[in-house]
Amino acid sequence: MQRGWTLMTGLGVCGLALAGAALPAAAGADATRSPNPLVVYTAIANNPLSGVSGEVHAVRTPSGKTNVTLELRGFDASFSGRTFGAHVHVGPCADGVSAGGHYTSPDTSVPLELREVWLDFTVNAAGNASAAATRDFAIADNAAHAVVIHQQPTAPNGVAGPRLGCIGIDL
C-alpha cells in the first residue's frame, strides 16, 4: 500500500479554519500532517506575500495519483485579479535557491504541465486565492519539499518568474 500524505501550514494570526477546503485522503491511504508556515522571501522588495498566510494539502492515493490544493489568505486589495504561478519543488523552503527545481515525473509522453504539479492561482477581491491539481503519478517519498509561489503565471515551458516565497511540505 502506498503511504498517503497530508500537509497543512499555519493560517496566520486570524487562526482561520478551512474545513472541507482540501481534498480528502483516499480510503486505504495512510495520512500524515506536518504544519509549516508560509516563508516570504525578504530579498524581494514589496513582496506581494507580505501579510499572507496559507496551507497546502496533498494526498498520494492508493491508485497512484497525487492531489494537491493550495489555499492563501490576506493579500492586499491591490493584488485582486492578479495571477501568480506556484509549483511543487524538490528542495526546502529556506530561500529561493534552496528550493531547487520543480518536481517532475519522468514520463516524457505527457506535456510538461502534466509531469509537474502547477498550482497557479488568481487573487480574488477578498484577498484570497486557491488552486488544486491532480496528477496521474505519485510523488515519491522524500522527493519534494516545498510549494514555491512565483511572481508571474506559469508559461508553457514551466517558467513563472522570481520566487516570492514557499510552504514546506517535507515528503
Mean pLDDT, the chain, integer = 82
Indicate whether 16 pLDDT > 90: no
pLDDT tens digit string along 109-143? 999 999 999 999 999 999 999 999 999 999 988 89
Report the alpha-carbon distance of residue 171 to residue 161 in Å, rounded: 25
* Torsion sign over Cα 50, 151, 10, 72: positive
pLDDT at 25: 46
Residue 128 or 18, more confident: 128
Does residue 24 register a pLDDT over 60?
A: no
Q: In this prediction, what percent of the chain has a pLDDT beyond 70? A: 78
Q: Which residue has the cell 485522503?
A: 25
**pLDDT for res 37:** 87
Predicted TM-score of the model (pTM): 0.81
User: What pLDDT is attached to residue 11?
Assistant: 30
Q: What is the pLDDT of residue 170?
A: 60
CATH number assigned to the domain covering 38-168: 2.60.40.200
Instruction: Among 18-27, 108-117, 144-153, name the one with the lowest average pLDDT.
Output: 18-27
What confidence score (pLDDT) does residue 35 get?
63
Give just the sign of the alpha carbon dihedral 131, 143, 8, 134: positive
Q: What DSSP letter does each residue of the chain carry, written as one string?
A: -PBP---B---TTTT---TT-SPPPPTT-B----B-PEEE-TTSTT-TTTT-EEEEEEEE-TTS-EEEEEEEE---GGGTT-EE-EEEESS-SSSTTTT-SB-B-S-TTS-HHHHB-B--EE--TTS-EEEEEEESSPPPTTS--EEEEESSPPPTTS---SEEEEEE---
Instruction: With a cut of 50, say whether residue 1 has pLDDT above it.
Output: no
Is the model's pLDDT at 32 over the cut of 50? Answer: no
Q: Which residue has the higher pLDDT, 35 or 20?
A: 35
